[in-house]
Structure 1
Amino acid sequence: MTLTPNKPTVTLPTESTRTVGKGMRVAVMFILSVIVLIGILGGRVGYLQLIEGDRNRQLAENNRIRLIAKAPERGRIFDRKGNIMATSRLAHAIYLWPIAQPKEKWPATIDRLAELMEVPANKIAEKLEQEGYNSPNLVRVAAAISPKLVTRLSEHSRELIGVKVDPEAVRYYPNGDVAAHLLGYTGELTSDDLKERREKGYRPGDVMGKAGVEDAFETMLRGEWGGQQVEVDAMGKVLRVLGQKPPIPGNAVRLTIDLDLQKAAEAALGEIKGAIIAMNPNNGEILAMVSHPTFDPNVFSGKISEATWARLQAADHPFVNRALQGYPPASTFKVVTMTAGLESKAFAPNDLLPTYAYLDVGGIQFWDHNSAGFGTIGFSEAMAYSSNTFFGQVGRRVGERTLAEWAHKYGFGAHTGVELASEEAIGLVPDPEWKLKTIKEPWFEGNTINMSIGQGDVQANLLQVGMMVSVPANGGYLIKPHLLLEDTASKEWRKSLNLAPSTLDALRQALRAVFQIGTAHSLNSEEYAMAGKSGTAEDPPRPNHAWFTCFAPFESPEIVVTAFAENAGGGGSTIAGPIAVKVVEAYMKIKTQPNAPNNPPVPTLNQ
């Protein structure tokens, strides 16, 4: 019997039976994936910690630590006696804190804020964008807001994330419109201002001097920013103050102005459109500077209403500082003509000339103001009576170039040196080259005669006329007008014109004769002798301008006053003369009064 061995039975796995080891493979793959992921994350963490650790720690710190900047208080402005002319008062301002919320949330906040403030939203957004949404600095969007608006914003504070209402110091002028053109005003930076001054530390919403002394002494008055370093939570709420740097107030500025004399000069000018300059003829200290019509610089410390802005843009131009504008100097210029005649040796101090009703030049008649002439007279009488035909003959003999030369020596046609140079018109001393280039015409003899009596194209400002008459007052020196009391360099700056003693004496006697026998005879004072010159400038088709410049006391001059009435329509001695003399009389009284400040109280919050 043959035995057949048994073959093993092989069972092929079906789809349903292939499960052995499957879970293991999944587990292995999962573990491998986790290991890889951990490796990647670990590598990234290592990279962030080791490679960019310092940078990221700084970013985290910046998100937690913030700097709240605080503006400095502007420096105060005093007169020479210690009277406050400009200071600060407390008010409320609205600020935005850019990093208090994400950029995408700001539009809704700005829209709501604009609605409450009743201003265009784009004006607020523009300031925020200028500073940047990631900036930690506060951005001022409104200053000196009303108490009513403070309350309204407080009531809606939950809708205004990143909006802060804080007290701040705003500019305040305790004397209102007194010396407004001299002091100027402050205002918020424009976008162009910010571009120019960003590198100097200015920020959107900052305030700067816009005119006058506020502008001229901006670097002294501004001060330095300070601030607080604070820790905040994720919502931007301040948790604690880590440190602070107090802002440094601006420096005080002491002016040469005498506030009492300033007020007296403004009262003397009254409602007449014009200007006054009072100055020390020996050192150039400006004691008073008046321009009318005027304005109240306090209006620029807050929001200006449309009605106020319309008034400031009126046809009589209240913003213009008429003390620094150029006008035909008229007969006051005869001081230059007399100097040119004597110093050129074309004339001697005692020479006499016949005067006429008019001078005929090429068929054009140049009339004397009395339409008759004054007979045969010398320099003193000619200055006293203000004879045009006398000085026309002097100018014709010396020629236009000699006249121009002496006009420049007296300071005409150039900046005076006063700190308000950006507002000063330098005037004009015409000559043949200027006329040919500008008017496309040759120079005529009639131009010389016009120039010799301060008419035609000659232009000068009040400071220049004051500088001119200061020369015979102080013994022959050109001085530098200035407003900063401590400016020793300007105070001691004196340039000798090297006038002959005989010329100086003749000038002084001629200017004194104006009060003794001339156009200002009715203004002559028995208390103290004065000397000066009147002027009446034609301004067709408008009425005449009126000038008067004088110094006193005659023997030892302490003050020069130049008064100007724009298009007043009368003579210099009848309109401007009494104004100038009133200022001299006020000075004589004020100088004997005690040197004591008299400062009005400064309002508190939002008064």
Structure 2
Amino acid sequence: MSAKLKTKSQDSNSRTVGNQLQAIPIMTVISLILFGGIGWRLAYLQLQQGDLNQAKAEQNRTRIVPKPPVRGSILDRNGKVLATNRLSHSAYLWPKAQKQRNWSTNRQIISQILAIKPEDLQKRVEDAGYNYPSLIPIARNLTSAQITALEEYRTQLKWVEIDVGKVRSYPEGKLAAHIIGYTGELNREELQERKSKGYRLGDVMGRMGVESAYESQLRGTWGGLKLGVNGAGRILQLLGENPAGVGEDITLTIDAEVQRAAEKALGTTKGAIVALDPKNGAVLAMASYPSFDPNIFSAPITNDIWQELQAQGNPFLNMSLRAFPPASTFKIVTATAGLESGKYPPNTVLGTYPYISVGGTRFREWNKRGFGPMGYVSSLAWSSNTFYGQIGRGVGGEKLIEWARKFGFGQKTGIELQGETKGLIADDGWKRLNFNNWGWTTGDTVNMSIGQGFTAATPLQVAVMFSAIANNGYRVQPHLLQTDNESKQAQRVSLNLKPTTLSTIKQGLRAVVDGGTGARLNSPHTPPGAGKSGTAEAPPGDSHTWFGAYAPFDKPEVVVVAFAEHSGGGGGSVAAPLVRQVMEAYFKPRKI
């Protein structure tokens, strides 16, 4: 009995051992598969995904704090700072904040403190993306109250950083605003266009004036700090620094004191004053009203500020570059056409009348009586419409148009500023295109000869015309960069005027000031000058007024042109005193 039991027990043990021996290969295979999978995963993570995982680990223990470019300064010709940078506190946000469970609540807190709409904040974060490698700017020019509020929420808002940076500053406020311009943050489309040039989210660029024209020189380059942080995101150490690059400083041809005088003279009169160096076209002043303070763009613009700006009209429109009927200042062109044609030499004398009749239209003398017989000098001094109407009619429309274009009318001057208009010097083709195929008439020529009709010119173009007489017959290109002076003088375009043409016109312009319509230019504080008035009909409003002048008469240093829109009155009574004030500032002895 026991022998049988023993045999059964041995058989059972044998089967168990057999089963165990059979299980070993299976377990081995399973183990190999498991360890093989782990090995393959480790190899995959280390070899194929190694760089990516290392970068993620690096992100968890380091942070990159960007340092925006430092824009170069803008200076006037004497070194006065017109645009620079000032220290300011800015708020930045880590993009990972949007993935935190309390993001919705924190976003609301941030929005309230920084006066940013929650949807705008959300859009900014989404534009950057969750994996954006560095901080994104969300507010500049923080107030003390905003900084304090963010610090009070420091524990909750651990993804928000406050840093000291630089924002654009214009120490002289409104002075030369239309020349200098302002800066503004790039929108999404602009950022996409400029990424290849090194622009980043939250970057700023020049929006107007010199800030825009010389963006590449002024801009500078991005830098940054590499910081070591702990698991809670707190800064432990500075790991490295790449200083932000400083842009170039730009020196302008502008004289800040002459500019200030021009703006003061213009006051609240809608219009413009331009001052040029007639030798090379350097812009000494360019005032325009209404105007604005570019400092407002260094912080978010409130609706109240925007409404206040709009109440003035369009303060961003540079009136120096807008076109208006040049009126009797254009008689310089008409006189040139007459003298150069040979039909009306310097000794020409014509009768002047209450009006001249052309095609049934009466072109009236401004004094309604006529002045009797006149030559070039006296007709310029008293701005006779009928004298120059006869000259224009005699030389013909084509010659008048030709000389207008030689002086630079009907084309951009080439100044660096955006928004310059060409003005208008119409011809037969233009009229047919715009007036149902009606061709050019003699009446159109007579109208043009006195600066009316279709003719339109900018104050800057008129200043170029006066410069051509002052510098003995060269059309200059206006410019704002000081280093361009010599090259621009070399690029002057000769009008090939006869010496007798220049001499006759100069005598006439001197007579304007020495007892003619421009007598109010005379000042004991300036040398003798020469000039020309203009009064343009501008229905249904009051007339526009002009005055252009240069001084000293014998060796001109400066040309000044003043334009007042719908001012009423005459050019000699309204615009000439504005020019005189600028002349007085220019010739005022400099304090050293």
TM-score class normalised by the smaller sequence:
over 0.9
**What corresponds to 1:426 in structure 2?**
422
**What corresponds to 2:551 in structure 1?**
552
TM-score normalised according to structure 2 size: 0.93
Matched, 1:381 2:396: no
Deviation at 1:337, TM superposition (A): 0.8
Q: How does 1:571-586 map to 2 (within 5 A)?
A: 571-586=570-585
**What corresponds to 2:519 in structure 1?**
521
Q: How does 1:57-206 map to 2 (within 5 A)?
A: 57-99=54-96, 102=99, 106-206=103-203
The DSSP-based 3-state class of the residue aligned with 1:578 is helix
Q: How does 1:273-312 map to 2 (within 5 A)?
A: 273-312=270-309
Contact 2:520 2:573 in 1 (8 A): no
Contact 1:312 1:319 in 2 (8 A): no
Deviation at 1:155, TM superposition (A): 0.8
Return closer, same or farther for 1:51/1:353 CA change in 2, 3 Å cut-off: same
Return closer, same or farther for 1:104/1:284 CA change in 2, 3 Å cut-off: farther
Contact 1:544 1:567 in 2 (8 A): yes
Tell me, in whole angstroms, the C-alpha distance in 1 between the residues paired with 2:307 and 2:490: 44
Q: Which moved more, 1:179-188 or 1:538-547?
A: 179-188
Contact 2:98 2:125 in 1 (8 A): no
Matched, 1:411 2:402: no
**What corresponds to 1:489 in structure 2?**
487
Return closer, same or farther for 1:534/1:90 CA change in 2, 3 Å cut-off: same
Tell me, in whole angstroms, the C-alpha distance in 1 between the residues paired with 2:71 and 2:86: 10
Contact 1:285 1:483 in 2 (8 A): yes
Contact 1:109 1:161 in 2 (8 A): no
Q: How does 1:316-465 map to 2 (within 5 A)?
A: 316-420=313-417, 422-440=418-436, 441-465=438-462
**What corresponds to 2:503 in structure 1?**
505
Deviation at 1:128, TM superposition (A): 1.9
The DSSP-based 3-state class of the residue aligned with 1:351 is coil
Matched, 1:43 2:28: no
Tell me, in whole angstroms, the C-alpha distance in 2 between the residues paired with 1:389 and 1:42: 102
Q: Which moved more, 1:197-206 or 1:450-459?
A: 197-206
Contact 1:395 1:449 in 2 (8 A): yes
Matched, 1:260 2:257: yes
TM-score normalised according to structure 1 size: 0.91
Aligned counterpart in structure 2 of residue 220 of structure 1, from 171, 194, 217: 217
| Per-residue Cα deviation, 1:489-512 (whole angstroms, up to 9, x for no partner) | 224331111101111111111111
**What corresponds to 1:604 in structure 2?**
none
**What corresponds to 1:540 in structure 2?**
539
Return closer, same or farther for 1:442/1:126 CA change in 2, 3 Å cut-off: same
The alignment of Structure 1 onto Structure 2 pairs a total of residues equal to: 584
| Per-residue Cα deviation, 1:576-598 (whole angstroms, up to 9, x for no partner) | 01110121122111xx3135xxx
Contact 1:276 1:564 in 2 (8 A): yes
Return closer, same or farther for 1:57/1:141 CA change in 2, 3 Å cut-off: closer
Tell me, in whole angstroms, the C-alpha distance in 1 between the residues paired with 2:479 and 2:385: 33
The DSSP-based 3-state class of the residue aligned with 1:377 is coil
Tell me, in whole angstroms, the C-alpha distance in 2 between the residues paired with 1:424 and 1:40: 71
Tell me, in whole angstroms, the C-alpha distance in 2 between the residues paired with 1:299 and 1:466: 31
The DSSP-based 3-state class of the residue aligned with 2:543 is strand
AA matched with 2:580: V
Deviation at 1:411, TM superposition (A): 0.9
Deviation at 1:47, TM superposition (A): 3.7
Tell me, in whole angstroms, the C-alpha distance in 2 between the residues paired with 1:296 and 1:371: 46
Deviation at 1:99, TM superposition (A): 4.2
Tell me, in whole angstroms, the C-alpha distance in 1 between the residues paired with 2:45 and 2:313: 69
AA matched with 1:540: P
Tell me, in whole angstroms, the C-alpha distance in 2 between the residues paired with 1:439 and 1:165: 63
| Per-residue Cα deviation, 1:275-316 (whole angstroms, up to 9, x for no partner) | 111111111111111111221111111122221110111252
Contact 1:131 1:203 in 2 (8 A): no
Contact 2:321 2:458 in 1 (8 A): yes
CA RMSD of aligned residues (A): 2.5
Tell me, in whole angstroms, the C-alpha distance in 2 between the residues paired with 1:54 and 1:126: 30
| Per-residue Cα deviation, 1:143-164 (whole angstroms, up to 9, x for no partner) | 1122111111111122223211
Return closer, same or farther for 1:126/1:8 CA change in 2, 3 Å cut-off: closer
**What corresponds to 1:599 in structure 2?**
none
Tell me, in whole angstroms, the C-alpha distance in 2 between the residues paired with 1:234 and 1:516: 84
**What corresponds to 1:603 in structure 2?**
none
Matched, 1:470 2:470: no
Contact 2:74 2:84 in 1 (8 A): yes
AA matched with 2:572: S
Tell me, in whole angstroms, the C-alpha distance in 2 between the residues paired with 1:159 and 1:457: 67
